[in-house]
Amino acid sequence: MATLQERFAELVPQMRNEVGGVLKEKGGNKISDVSVKQAYGGMRGIKGMICDTSVVEPDKGLIIRGYPLLEVKELWPEEIFYLLLTGDKPDDDATQALQLDLAARSYVPDYVWDVLTSMPADSHPMCMLNTAILVMQRESAFKAWYDKGMTKDQYWIPMMEDALRILGVLPGIAAGIYRIRYGKGDPIPYMTNLDWGANYARMLGLPDPTGNFAKLMRLYLNFHCDHEGGNVSANTCHTVGSALSDAFYAVSAGLNGLAGPLHGLANQECLDWILQLMEKFGGVPTAEQMEEFAFETLRSGKVVPGYGHAVLRVTDPRFTGFNEFGHKYLPDDAVFQTVDRVFTVVPKVLEAFSAERVAAGKNPIANFWPNVDAGSGALLYHYGLEEFPYYTVLFSVSRAMGMLSQLIVNRALGTAITRPKSVSTKWIMANA
């Protein structure tokens, strides 16, 4: 089977034809109306951009190139990257070629370590990660080709180069940040004959005698890879990339969005919430105690982290997949058991609280079900990854695959610079 670069090159003319045909035939058709509420409400639900790597169906969750996530949960993350870009599951040869390619690009330059070790000791791991990606911008092939002069139909080629460089180097940087930030010793080098996910697990330096932590990392990197185009990180990356900023700028920018507590940072908040709950009641709490704690959180004006979603209206299949992993590999773990039981209580609490909100004239809570962040922390914690401010870095390493594949596709299609029209409140008052 063809390498990723060869296969994508084969597909580019086809993709361009398809989009050209759609534009010709349907260019004038309407796909969305916009209400004033949506304009003030984070553009929620407005169809105004294209993403072909994945879609999120409110009642089904993430679908990657037509495959519901749980149907491709056995794929290793690098295979998922191939799938995101091409729609094909790679065979062993293509996977191995990609693994070797990533390994060849895994070298972390010394200046990155210099920057990271000079950062203040209380820097957030996400700030360290995004700084490290940004500082490597000088390596951008896209920038070099652009400065030299290239035609628009070549844009995707150096973008692919940048994407592979970022994905190659990212596990080493991310694992190094863990070791530097938490005093775990020197960074551990990448191993060429090991897959991308297991490499990351190994470079973190946590003991893994059963190999189950590496299994969890592959699953984790698979599950967080992409979530269509409109979420904060993907949308930010897309917008920055649309100005023909290179992948280092665009991915760092997108990941700064992932670092927000309503987005990727929720996974650090989730485990914190679970541990506080366990501490308060001295172990795995009863259903009544969970209910009491959840109401206390909500009535103090906070969100229950890991629950609710801007698009999903069912239990996130990623939560289901992590929950299955927990039941299989760590059924007796008290933190996992708490997460598992919280799942049977919190949706009912959110439903009741939503009714209280509505009675008080506020918005209902649209989704009572767990999202991806609700369960992953308990699994990481079990394997000794106890520093939860680090969790969003793991999410980032995975999500870089989605952001990068979207960038490559967009450069291949010559997607236009993003420029929606804003209006003022006075305009709304006079015209809406």
222 binds ligand CMX (CB under 6 A): no
- Write down the least CB distance from residue 50 to ligand CMX, Å: 20
Q: Does 220 bind ligand CMX (CB under 6 A)?
A: no
Give Cβ neighbours of residue 57 (< 8 Å, ≥ 6 apart).
63
Which CB, 37 or 419, lies closer to ligand CMX?
Answer: 37
Nearest approach in angstroms of CB 87 to ligand CMX is 25
Binding to ligand CMX by residue 235, rule CB under 6 A? Answer: no
Binding mask 11-50 for ligand CMX (x = CB under 6 A): ----------------------------------------
- 151-177 burial, b at 16+ Cβ within 10 Å, e below that, comes to eeeebbbbbbbbbbbbbbbbbbbbbbb
| Cβ 106 to ligand CMX shortest distance, Å | 27
Count Cβ atoms below 10 Å from residue 341 Cβ, excluding itself: 15
How far apart, in whole angstroms, are the C-alpha atoms of residue 34 and residue 51? 20
State yes or no: residue 303 binds ligand CMX (CB under 6 A).
yes
Does position 202 interact with ligand CMX (CB under 6 A)? The reply is no
Secondary structure of residue 61 in the 3-state scheme: strand
Angle at which helix 391-413 crosses helix 373-382, to 10 degrees, equals: 130
Q: How far is the CB of 270 from ligand CMX (least distance, A)?
A: 7
67-73's contacts with Cβ under 8 Å and 24+ in sequence apart are 68/317, 69/223, 69/317, 69/318, 69/321, 70/317, 70/320, 70/321, 72/222, 73/219, 73/222, 73/223, 73/321
Close Cβ partners of 127 (under 8 Å, ≥ 6 residues apart): 119, 259
Q: Where are the beta strands (DSSP E) in 184-340?
A: none
- The closest residue (CB) to ligand CMX is 308
Which of these segments, 173-181, 244-252, 297-305, 398-406, binds ligand CMX (CB under 6 A)?
297-305
Catalytic residue from among 224, 316, 373, 382? 373
Q: Is there binding between residue 277 and ligand CMX (CB under 6 A)?
A: no
Sheet of 67-68: strand order equals 54-57, 61-64, 67-68
Q: CB-wise, 180 or 350, nearer to ligand CMX? A: 350
Long-range contact pairs involving 261-264 (C-beta distance under 8 Å, separation at least 24): 261/305, 262/232, 262/303, 263/231, 263/232, 263/233, 264/233, 264/373, 264/392, 264/395, 264/396, 264/399
263 annotated active-site: yes
Nearer to ligand CMX, 208 or 373 (CB): 373
402 binds ligand CMX (CB under 6 A): no
Catalytic residue among 224, 238, 263, 382: 263
CB 383, min distance to ligand CMX, A: 21
Within residues 327-366, the interface with ligand CMX by CB under 6 A covers 362-363, 365-366
Cβ nearer to ligand CMX, comparing 10 with 356: 356
- Total residues interacting with ligand CMX, rule: CB under 6 A: 22
The residue from 224, 238, 309, 382 that is catalytic is 309
Q: By CB under 6 A, tell whether 306 contacts ligand CMX.
A: yes
Token duo for residue 87: 């729609």
Contacts with 329 (C-beta within 8 Å, 6 or more apart), sequence order: 212, 215, 216
Instruction: Return the bridge partners of 55, or none.
Output: 63
Site for ligand CMX in 360-399 (CB under 6 A): 362-363, 365-367, 371-373
Encode burial over 38-54: b for 16+ CB neighbours within 10 A, e otherwise: ebeeeeeebeebebbbb
Tell me if 304 contacts ligand CMX by CB under 6 A: yes
Q: Which of 251, 284, 76 is closest to 169 using CA atoms?
A: 251
Among 202, 263, 318, 411, binds ligand CMX (CB under 6 A): 263
DSSP H or E segment with residue 374 = helix 373-382
Least Å distance between CB 299 and ligand CMX? 10
CB nearer to ligand CMX: give 245 or 367.
Answer: 367
Task: Clarify whether 88 is annotated catalytic.
Answer: no
Is 266 one of the binding residues for ligand CMX (CB under 6 A)?
Answer: yes
Residue 102 in tokens: 């990533």
310 is a contact residue toward ligand CMX (CB under 6 A):
yes
CB-nearer residue toward ligand CMX: 60 or 184: 60
Residues labelled as active-site residues: 263, 309, 373
Chain residues that interact with ligand CMX, rule: CB under 6 A: 231, 262-264, 266, 298, 303-310, 362-363, 365-367, 371-373
